Structure 1
């Protein structure tokens, strides 16, 4: 198991969860009612699962594909450490991962 910390869109709340290696970050987020829509169901046809990975964790992730980078161009509030959560496969080697829910996701269902 590994630990994933979701920093809520308001920047004040946090939700820490355990996740199985091999899980997709979007699935973990949705299972814990984080406000990430994932409209395209992981097909990289939207950017509604955009998250901002903590700087200290970002370099431990495999690089984003060109297609993912293209989709991130459509997301609101993109930062240097932005990723699509549907493209992050969790591994035991990560140990822990902290991601920030963008403020643009606040209007979706989930913790605020």
Structure 2
């Protein structure tokens, strides 16, 4: 289990425990966190689960693969180095304390 903090664009924080093996996107979806739409259901075929990873966590996450990088081109106002698709982040104990912030909107 990992405790993940999701911060809405307006600043509202949601701290939830997400089971290992799920994705950060599934954790948001299963806990009704607003701001992550996940239109493709986690297939890395859209960018509607885009977040900005807190700078303290950028270097602790797995590298962005080519497919995720391509989809981030479609995200709303991506930030180099901080933008990630939550469907591509598998939850493990190593993600305990992860902080992500949603963009103003998803496209």
Q: Conserved in 1, the CA contact under 8 Å of 2:7 and 2:100?
A: yes
TM-superposition CA deviations, 1:67-101 (whole Å, max 9, x none):
10010011111112000010000111222200001
Distance 1:2 1:53 in 2: 15
Q: 1:15 — aligned with what?
A: 14
Q: 1:100 — aligned with what?
A: 101
Provide the TM-score with structure 1 as the length reference. Answer: 0.87
TM-superposition CA deviations, 1:22-61 (whole Å, max 9, x none):
2111110011212211111111111011011101011111
Q: 2:86 matched to 1:68?
A: no
Instruction: State how 1:1-112 maps to structure 2 within 5 Å.
Output: 1-11=1-11, 13-34=12-33, 35-80=35-80, 81-105=82-106
- Structure 2: which 5+ runs fail to align? none
- Indicate the SS of the match to 2:60: coil
Distance 1:45 1:95 in 2: 27
